[in-house]
Amino acid sequence: MHDTGFRGIEGVPILNQSLLWILGRAFVAVGCAAVAVSLNDDPASRRRALALFAAGHLILGVSAFDQWPWSLRQLGVPWQAALAPVAAGGVLLMAAAASWLGGMPGAGAMTS
């Protein structure tokens, strides 16, 4: 599987390839965060911003955890650290869901 398909970059070690892919996905995550910050005008846009920020964490987290067996483990990174951005994205997504539910009529104590 190494150096084949869309992952293969001839002459570049798999460790460096993995780090390049993680950095590329990090740029996507930064883009999601930038869009999220630019939408903070009203409560509805804050909910969208939180959801996009969670999506950025999930994208980067899945990328890091996907690359852990190939490169991060060789660098001594424990699997828990590679899974941490996925967990953070999940928590942020639950917070976004709670704020969406808070905006619905009859949601009780939850408010947006």
pTM of the model: 0.58
Q: Report how many domains make up the chain.
A: 1
| pLDDT-based confidence at residue 102 (cuts at 50, 70, 90) | low
Pair of tokens at residue 34: 């930038």
Q: Is residue 36 within 8 Å of 53, Cβ to Cβ?
A: yes
Q: Where are the alpha helices (DSSP H) in 1-112?
A: 14-38, 43-67, 79-102
Residue 112 is assigned to a structural domain of this protein: no
Phi, psi dihedral angles at 58 (to 5 degrees):
-65, -40
Residue 31 is assigned to a structural domain of this protein: yes
What is the helix, strand, coil percentage profile of the chain, to 5?
Answer: 75, 0, 25
Residue 108 is assigned to a structural domain of this protein: no
DSSP 15-27: HHHHHHHHHHHHH
Q: What's the pLDDT score for residue 9?
A: 67
Residue 111 is assigned to a structural domain of this protein: no
| 50-77 per-position pLDDT tens digit | 888 888 888 888 887 887 787 777 777 7
* Full domain range(s) for residue 36: 5-102
